[in-house]
Structure 1
Amino acid sequence: MATNTGQMGYLPRGGAIFCTIPDILYLPELVCGGLVLSLVASTYLFPHNPQAYVISVTIFCFIMTFLWLLIFACGSHNNRSSWASADVAYHAFAALLYLSASVLLASTTLGLEIILGKADLYYKLDVAAVVFSFFTTLLYVVHTVFSAIRWKSF
């Protein structure tokens, strides 16, 4: 029986990952995560600690999402339900990490508005990074929900 999240009890492999609802989100997650990384890295890193945390989260999630995409694309998961539960767990963890990084980035950006002013380029780059960071968080949350629906069908 086919659903909007792919076939019930089935984890896609190969090119099929670009045709199912949760797995089609890998590419937007990678693109938006890369944008967040490049925007934060191109700004003035002040204060250092929250910005370093944001960069660490984006690098970790970018690398892990890419590896997760490769695992599914190569078919290394052998269609086991443990992979479906690991998919839900990873995307929930990534969503939580991105949410914490987004909140820290937003609070840092509000502090930069006071120091630099709204017309400064670094402030504008940080605002763009905040927007993409929250959008990436939303992508990971949606991926988690649809992966959980697929996991329940196993």
Structure 2
Amino acid sequence: MASTTSGDVLPTGARIFISFPDLFFIPEWVIGGLVWILVASTRVFQENPLGWVMFVSVFCFVGTTLWLFIFACGGNQSSFWPGLDAGFHFVAAVFYLSASVVLAYITILIGKGSTFDINLLKTYRLDISAVVMSHVATLLYFLHAIFSAIRWKRA
């Protein structure tokens, strides 16, 4: 019985750095790490729901790292990997979209009170950077999910 995917559908080794959509791994990893660092460096208030943002950024950072190592080591040659690839990146895109909305809302709330407090102004500026990076990460994961789904359906 023949496999539904050929052995050359998913790249392995150094080819993941030059194949599309797998070349998104490194930017996703870097931008996700920046979101994690920026949110972790701000002051968290009790009613602040930044726990979800931290969960998403850590989950996607660790997941992308594991995914990168699996692809680099060649452990992705079974027939179910193209579907898992598309599924993981779709879940990451939805998670990052929800985290981006929460982070933008919190940043707007912090911005209303940041005109008089210098420490709050620093938190506000860090949160603005985190919002931008979070939206970029959302875009990268969404593009990776779309092109992974196209590759999965082509197989």
Distance 1:51 1:81 in 2: 38
Deviation beyond 3 Å, 4+ runs, structure 1 = none
**What's the RMSD between the two structures over aligned residues?**
1.8
Q: Which has the larger radius of gyration?
A: 2
Q: Give the unaligned 5+ runs of structure 1.
A: 1-6
Change (3 A) 1:102 1:47: farther
Alignment: residue pair count: 147
Q: Give the unaligned 5+ runs of structure 2.
A: 1-5
TM-score calculated relative to the size of structure 2: 0.89
Distance 1:47 1:54 in 2: 15
2:152 corresponds to:
151
Check if 1:64 corresponds to 2:30: no
Change (3 A) 1:46 1:21: same
% same residue:
48
Matches within 5 A, 1:5-154: 10-78=9-77, 80-117=78-115, 120-154=121-155
* Displacement after TM superposition at 1:117 (Å): 2.9
On the 8 A contact 1:8/1:153 being kept in 2, the answer is: no
Give 1:76's aligned amino acid.
Answer: G
Deviation digits for residues 9-68 of structure 1, max 9, x if unmatched? Answer: 611000000111110000000000000000001111125541111011100110011000
